[in-house]
A and B are shown apart, each in its own frame.
Chain A
Amino acid sequence: MTEEMISPPARVLDSDRGRIGRSIGGAVRRHVGGNVSLAIGIGIVGLMVLLAAFASVIAPYDPLKQDVANALLAPGEAGHLLGTDQLGRDVLSRLLYGARLDIFVALGSVIFPFTIGIAIGIVAGFRGGWVDSLLVGVIDVVFAFPVLVLLIALLFVLGPGILTIIVAITLVDWVAYAQLTRTSARRERNQEYILAARTGGIPVWRILLRHMLPNIIAQPVVLAFSDALLIILTITTLGFLGLGVPPPQPDWGTMISEAQPYLSTQWWLGVAPGVAIIFTGLGLSLIADSLAERLDAR
């Protein structure tokens, strides 16, 4: 058993691809191959999205309904599959509604920075000159801030809420996409296919959208999936710090935070949302990693 664990599988060696090779998704991909891990990743994320979308149908109880007489029930007791929390609310129902909220916020917090960052990055990289210098300055300033501190400050200014989280994350996160896209755009703008398009009199917006973007979109897409994972973690961190989604709305971070005093006696209160986060994270990581592999080979 131990020997088997120590000796690495032979395939690890030929697929050593730097950062990617060290991620969870990379580890899984090496064992089952790119297509399978992509399918598993899509399956996991798809399942979570479905559960979230149909939370109102699947959830056995109202996630907000308190029943103090039945508080802190163990899993399976009195028809509560995952037990109840300190206020007698059904944990499974809260988990499902929490998925809805967290996935919705994650989606918003990825789409906006993704779109805005790519748009700004590609224009700056293509134009060059002072536009580009300005962007680089802004990127450096935003990067220099500790992200969580900046987020917390923004949350205090804007007041807590779902929209605030999305806006705050967008304000911080677009620079990652902008920087990535800018670098690619600078590299591509002197490629002859771009020069040829310019010689052909094709309008700049069309060159950027139809010629350049398809050739540089792979990296931001991969980043978006690994970013979604980080954002879910950030949201749960904010929830844990009491800065996330205001109660009584269920979200995974708040659930873990509220479960803290009961960890030694009712451990499942914290473990259930924790497992949900890990599971979703695994799915996103698998997709990000397989896409990186697949899009790399054009």
Chain B
Amino acid sequence: MADQLLEVKDLCVHFGGGRTLLGKKKVPFEALKGIDFSIAAGEAFAIVGESGAGKSTAARCVVGLQKSTRGEITFQGAPLGFHRDRDQRRAVQMVFQDPYSSLSPRMTVGGALAELLRVNKVCGTKEAARERAGELLEMVGMPPSALDQRPRAFSGGQRQRIGIARAIALEPALLVADEPVSALDVSIQASILGLLKRLQRELGLTMLFISHDLAVVRQLCDRVAVMCDGEIIEMGPVSEVLAAPREEFTKNLLAAATDLPDLEMEPLAAPPPKP
């Protein structure tokens, strides 16, 4: 298929292999046992599964934070390895899981964004970088005043917006989102998912979305792969997989999904009079 943006073939990751000092073979833990999937340009693809299923490991291989043991990743027709050039690195960016640890506590929001823009030569001067950082914040619904503040000034949801601003700063083609809302309150989750959906449409992003929650996937994604113990056990369009799951495992996962609150709300009743 020529229009595939990302193709993953037989991706394997083993942890803790090799030999001990005495030459005894250590038994590796197989986090990924050879998975295949591909994502078309503009598509939102989800990988779901329990924690420990290997979803995050797969995401980290794609982003270039994890060396694979075997297998290959092809991106825009070229091999995408652990070591990659600046353009490839820029083209695949990530939204991290925990907004409380994904922002450096000692850097201002503007400082961190500007550094990213300048190091990657998106902006040449300090002023241009700062201006662009302000625009990025605006795109994710944060006020420009956030530029001079440190992450501790913000709530989890706001921090995740900043994290999203950082991920789109380098104008990636593929955005990998590793459980972007699982650390947030349910009431905040919907707004962050809405933001991701909107950005995907406006920027023409392709998304790889990692989640353990099928309800979240249903709102956001086109196709889904279900992972269990390092293998993909079921894959297809979201509507089909969720409506008629073939595997018992998927059924159980579906039963465990949270119910996100309905977004259509009745107008608030008048507050009760104060005593």
Contact = CB atoms under 8 A, between A and B. Distances in A.
Nearest to A192: B102
Contacts of B197: none
A298 B97 contact: no
A199 B119 contact: no
User: Looking at chain B, what size class is its interface with the partner chain?
Assistant: 20 to 34
A6 B45 CA distance: 69
Interface string A187-226: 0000111011111111100100011001100000000000
Contacts, number: 64
Interface in B118-159: 119-120, 152
B82 to A, nearest CB: 11
Contacts of B105: 193, 215, 298
B120 A199 contact: no
A196 B166 contact: yes
Given A199-B89, A201-B119, A201-B120, A192 B96 contact: yes
B63 A214 contact: no
A229 to B, nearest CB: 27
B103 interface: yes
Contact of A200 (B101, B120, B152): B120
B42 interface: no
B211 interface: no
A191 B99 CA distance: 11
Nearest to A194: B104
B129 to A, nearest CB: 13
Contacts of A197: 104
A220 B152 CA distance: 23
The residue in A193, A197, A215 that gathers the most chain B C-beta atoms within 10 A of its C-beta is: A193
A197 B89 CA distance: 11
Contacts of A202: 115-116, 119
Interface in B43-77: 63-65
A192 B119 contact: no
Interface in B82-117: 86, 89-90, 92-94, 96-98, 101-107, 115-116
18 contacts: A192-B97, A192-B101, A193-B102, A193-B105, A199-B93, A199-B94, A200-B89, A200-B93, A200-B119, A200-B166, A201-B120, A201-B170, A202-B119, A203-B119, A210-B107, A211-B107, A215-B105, A298-B152
Interface of A: 191-193, 195-203, 206, 210-211, 214-215, 298
